[in-house]
Structure 1
Amino acid sequence: MEATLQSIFRDGLETYQEHHGLSMDQSRAAQAILLCQTEALGYEEWICFDDGHREQQNHSCRHRSCPRCHGAMTHDWLERTQARLLPCDHYQVVFTLPHELDALWQYNRQWCGDHLFKASAETLRQLLADDKYLGAEVGLLSALHTWGRTLSFHPHVHVLVTGGGLAGEQWRPVKNGYLLPVGVLKAKFRGKWLSWLNDAYAAGELKLPPDWTPERWRQVLRTISRKRWNVRIQGGYRHGHGVVNYLSRYLRGGPIKDHRIVSATPEQVSFRYRDHHDGCEKTMQLSPMQFIARVLWHVPVKGQHGVRYYGLYTAGAANKRQRIKDQLGVVAEAATATQAPARQCPLCGRPLFHRLSVRGQISYLRNTARATVRGHVQQGAQAAPLPQESPAQSSERFFIALPGAA
C-alpha cells in the first residue's frame, strides 16, 4: 500500500495521542486529514442517462494542513495573485527569527505569527518610503512558513516586494537594481521585534514555556539582541510570477506532500528532501511518532491568515495598480474564468449529469464538549507530559475519536 500522510496518521495517531495529547488546532487538522476523501464526509454522484453508468466522488476536507485536497484552491489563489502583480521587477526578502525564540513561538503562536508579519512589512514600507532609498509606496505580498525541508521548526516569512513604487501620482523604479542595504534592514527589523516583545511581556500578553524562568527569559533577550538576525534579499525577479508560483506550493497542504513520502512501517517513516547546502536530494528516516510530531508542529492557528497583502497589493489599491499599469503601457486584460472540463461517461463519451449530493454523518468536536474532554484527560494517566521534541501549542490537550476506534 502506498505510504501517505493519511495512512501514517491512521496507524500511529492514536498512540501519539495517548502519550502527548493534541491541541484544539491539531485535533481539527488530524480529524480532517484522517477523513479527507472518505465516505464519512459524504460524496457527489454523477450518472449517464444513456447507459446508466454512475460515478461517485467523496468530499474533501479542505483543511490547510491536508495534502490530499489542496490543488484546486492553490490553483485559484495562484491565478488571482498573478493577475494582481504589477509588471515590474520584484525582490524576495526572507525574514527569519533566531532559533532561541522557537520555544516561545510554540506557546504564543498567534502573537508571534502576527508580529512577524507586522515587523517585516513595517520595516520594508518605512524604509522604502524614505527618500534616502526609494521615497515611494510599494506593494508587498507576505507568506508565513514555519518549517524547514526536513519538517524542522523554522519560522520565517517570505515577502515579495515590488521593484519600485508610487511617488505621488508617478511610478518610481528602484535605482540600479538595488532595493535596500541589508544591514539597515536587519537592524530595523530586530529593533521592532524586540521592542514589541518586551512590551508584550511587560503587559502579561506572553506565556513563557514551562521550563523558562524569568532569568532564562532575560538570558534569551540578551542573546538575541547581540545576534545578527537572518534577513536575505533576493532578486530582482521579472514580474515576480516565479516567486508567487513558489509560494503557492506552501500555501496549503501542510509541510509535506504525499509524493515526498518514500515508505512507512510501524518502525520508520522515510521521506525525501533537498539539502540546501549541496542541492542534492536525500532521504530522512524518523520514527512514526517523531514524524507525526513534526507534522503537527506546523498546524496553523485557526483563523490566522498565512498570506497577507500590504501597500499597492491590498484589495483597496486596485485603482493605484491600474494607474501604474497605464503609465507602464500595459493593456488591461479581461479576467477569464476557468471552468473545469465537464465529466464524460467512460463508456459512451456523453456528458455525465450531477445526480445527488450526500452529506457526511461525521460530526466534529464542538466547543461545548471541551469540558468533558478536558476532564477525561485530567483523570486519565495516559496523557503523558509532552516531550521536548514536541512543545505544546496550547495548555489544553484532549482526544478525538478515530474512525474505526471503539
Structure 2
Amino acid sequence: MSAQHRTKYRPANERFAREYGPWRPVVAQVADKFLACGVLEHGFARIRCDACTHEYLLAFSCKCRYCCPSCHAKRLAIWTQWLDTTLLALVPHRQVVLTIPKRLRAYCLYRRRLLGEIARVAARTVTAAIRTLTGERDLAVGIVACRQTHGARANWHPHLHRLVTDGGFRPDGTFVSWPVHDTARLPEAFRRAVLRLVVRLELFDEDQAAGLLTWPHSGFHVHTAVWVSEDDRAFATRLARDCARNPVALERLTYDRAAKAVTYCSDKSEGPTAGTETADPLEFLARVLVHIPDQGHVTTRYDGWYANRPRGMRRQAEPAAADTPPLIVPAPRLAPTEATRRWAALLQEIFEVDPLACPTGHGPMRVVAFITQVSVIDRILAHRRTRAAREAHGGPRSPPSTRAPTNRGASERSPPASPPPR
C-alpha cells in the first residue's frame, strides 16, 4: 500500500484495525466497484428489439464476490446449475461443517491463507476417515469445499463447509457408502491434524499445542448430520448454495435514518448468536468488508473425485460413461467397537506414520501382552528406571532383578521365579 493510501485510510485503521484487521487495498477496489454497480452514470448497455424497436438500458454490474448480494446471487445461480448438470455424481452426499476454536480465528484474520491450509487438512482428514471406516485405501472421495468467514450476524467466524460424497469411489467407478459416522473420533482427528499444522507453521509451539489437547472443550467441532439422497438433486444444490452464500442477507438488514443505526437479524433461532443486533453504520460496514477475500484466494475447492484432473482423465478414458449412474455398494457392517479399533489406521492416514511400525527397523509390531498385575507393573517400571539411570551415567548394565518390590504387602508379592528349563 502506498503512502497516499495509508494516509487516506488511517482513520479506518485506528478505529477498526484491532478488531477487523488492517485496511487492505482489495477492500477499496471492491468497494468502489460495488458503489458503481447498477448505476447508469457509471455505464450501461442498450438493449433493443429489432422487431418492435423496443429498447432499455442495462447498467453494468460489479461482479464482485462476497460483497455485492446481487452479483453474488447470480454467481451462485450459475454455479449451482453447473454442479447439478456437470459435477455432482448420482450418489448420496453429506454436509460436513468443521469449526475451529476462537484462538485460531484471530490468526486467520491476519494470515488469510491459513484458512486455505486448514481446508486442505480438513479434506485429508475426511478422506482418511472414510477410507479407514470402509477398509479400502484406494477410495476417491468427492468433496466440494467452501470457506466461510462469517457467522450468523455477519461477524468474523471462519469455518469450513463441505459437500462430501457419503462414501467413496473405487478405481472401477463403484461407489462404496460410508458405514459409520463417528462423531467423536473425527473431531479429534481434525483437531490433532490442525494443531500439527500450526506447529509446523510456527504459530504455536509444542507446549501450546499439547495444552490445547488437554482442553475438554477445545472448540474443534465437526457436524455431519445433514444427509442428501442421490435422487434429491434440488436439495443438494440448495445445500451447496447455502455453503457459499453471501455474508449479508438484505432481507434481514434494516437501516434507521433518524437514529443512524443498522439492525441485523440473525438466522439462528436459539443460541448465543440468536436475535437481533443494532450497530453503528461504520461499525457494521467494517464488519462486512472484512469478509472480502484477497485477490487470488480460492474460496471454493474441489478435492478427490471432484478434482479437475481426475474428472478430465475420466472424460478422456470413458466419455460415454460420464452420465451413467455408478453402482452403489453398501460397506460391510462394522461391530460397535470396530471404528474404535481402526483409530490407529486413521492416525496413519492423517499423520502419514504407522503407530505399529518399529521406529528403528520399520518392521511390523504387535501387542504381546496386557500387563495388569500390580507387582509385575512395579518390577517393569523399576527396571526401566534403573536402566535409564545406568545409561545416563555410562556404567555397566546389570540384568533385571527378579525379586519382588518390598513396598507392597505380603498378599501382593509375586511368587519366586521358577528355575530356567534345562
Q: TM-score, normalised by structure 2?
A: 0.63
Counterpart in the other structure of 1:91: 94
| Match among 290, 293, 296 for residue 300 of structure 1 | 293
1:124-163 equivalences under 5 Å are: 124-130=126-132, 132-133=134-135, 135=137, 136-163=139-166
Does the CA contact (< 8 Å) of 2:91 and 2:326 recur in 1? no
Residues 273-322 of structure 1: per-residue CA shift (max 9 Å, x gap) = 22242799843211112211210221112211111111111223332894
Do residues 248 (structure 1) and 236 (structure 2) align?
A: no
Counterpart residue identity of residue 224, structure 2: I
In structure 2, the CA distance between the partners of 1:250 and 1:60, relative to structure 1 (3 Å rule), is farther
Conserved 8 A contact 1:96-1:157:
yes
**Alpha carbons of 1:219 and 1:168: their partners in 2 closer, same or farther (altered >3 Å)?**
closer
User: Paired residue for 1:225, among 196, 204, 213?
Assistant: 213
Letter in 2 for 1:124: V
Query: What's the CA shift for 1:145?
Result: 0.6
Question: Which residue of structure 2 lines up, in the alignment, with residue 34 of structure 1?
Answer: 35
Instruction: In structure 1, give the amino acid aligned to 2:38.
Output: Q
Shift of 1:162: 0.9
- Are residues 1:59 and 2:60 paired? yes
Residues 279 and 99 of structure 1: CA distance in aligned 2, closer, same or farther (over 3 Å): closer
Partner SS for 1:160: strand
Mapping for residues 207-218 of structure 1, pairs under 5 Å: none
- Aligned pair in 2 of structure 1 residues 323, 307: CA closer, same or farther (>3 Å)? same
Letter in 2 for 1:93: V
How far apart are the structure 1 equivalents of 2:41 and 2:126? 47
Q: Could you tell me which residue of structure 1 aligns to residue 267 of structure 2?
A: 274
Question: Structure 1 residues 74 and 129 mapped into 2: Cα distance closer, same or farther (>3 Å)?
Answer: same
| Amino acid of the structure 2 residue aligned with 1:325 | T
- 1:257 corresponds to which of 245, 249, 252: 249
The code of the aligned residue for 2:213 comes to S
Correspondence for 1:119: 121
Query: How far is 1:94 from its partner?
Result: 0.9
Alpha-carbon distance between aligned partners in 2 of 1:324 and 1:50, rounded to the nearest angstrom: 40
Matched residues in 2 for 1:14 and 1:58: separation? 33
Matched, 1:23 2:50: no
Structure 1 residue 68: Cα displacement: 2.7
Give the Cα–Cα distance (whole angstroms) in 1 for the partners of residues 44 and 243 of structure 2: 27
Distance 2:283 2:273 in 1: 23
- Give the secondary-structure state (helix, strand or coil) at the position aligned to 2:251: helix
The offset of 1:326, in angstroms, is 4.6
Taking the aligned partners of 2:174 and 2:252, their CA distance within structure 1 comes to: 44
Match of 1:108 in 2: 111
- Please, which runs of 5 or more residues in structure 1 have no aligned partner? 1-12, 207-213, 330-406
Comparing 33-42 with 60-69, greater Cα deviation is found at 33-42
Specify the code of the residue in structure 1 equivalent to 2:84.
Q
CA-based RMSD of the aligned residues comes to 3.2
Identity across matched positions, percent: 22
Supply the distance in 2 between the matched residues of 1:68 and 1:107 (Cα, whole angstroms).
Answer: 28
Does the C-alpha gap of structure 1 residues 305 and 132 become closer, same or farther in structure 2, counting only changes over 3 Å? Answer: same
Distance 1:197 1:324, change over 3 A: farther
Q: Which has the larger radius of gyration?
A: 2
Q: Deviations over 1:85-118 (max 9, x none)?
A: 11121111111110111221111011x1211210
User: Which stretch of the first structure deviates more once superposed, 143-152 or 316-325?
Assistant: 316-325
Distance 1:194 1:100, change over 3 A: same
Distance 1:52 1:115 in 2: 55
The 8 Å contact of residues 125 and 138 in structure 1, kept in 2 or not, is answered as: yes
**Secondary structure of residue in 2 paired with 1:69:** helix
Cα distance, 1:273–1:133 mapped onto 2, change above 3 Å: farther
For residues 246 and 279 of structure 1, do their structure 2 counterparts lie closer, same or farther at Cα, with a shift above 3 Å needed?
Answer: farther
Q: Matches of 2:15 and 2:208 in 1, distance apart? A: 30
Equivalent of 1:168 in 143, 159, 171: 171
CA distance change for structure 1 residues 251 and 193 in 2, over 3 Å: closer, same or farther?
A: same
Which whole-Å CA distance do the structure 2 matches of 1:142 and 1:264 have between them?
A: 37
Distance in 2, Cα, partners of 1:51 & 1:172: 55
Q: Tell whether the 8 Å contact from 1:32 to 1:66 is kept in structure 2 after alignment.
A: no
The one-letter code matched in structure 1 to 2:214 is: R
Q: How does 1:171-186 map to 2 (within 5 A)?
A: 171-174=174-177, 178-186=179-187
- 1:163 deviation in Å? 1.7
State the structure with bigger RCO (CA 8 A, min sep 6), 1 or 2.
1
Does the 8 Å CA contact 1:100/1:224 hold for their aligned counterparts? no
Q: Distance in 1 between matches of 2:180 and 2:104?
A: 28
* 1:189 aligned counterpart, secondary structure: helix
In structure 2, the CA distance between the partners of 1:222 and 1:326, relative to structure 1 (3 Å rule), is closer
Q: TM-score, normalised by structure 1?
A: 0.65
Shift of 1:23: 1.1
Per-residue CA distance 1:12-31 (angstroms, 9 max, x = gap): x9985784573112222222
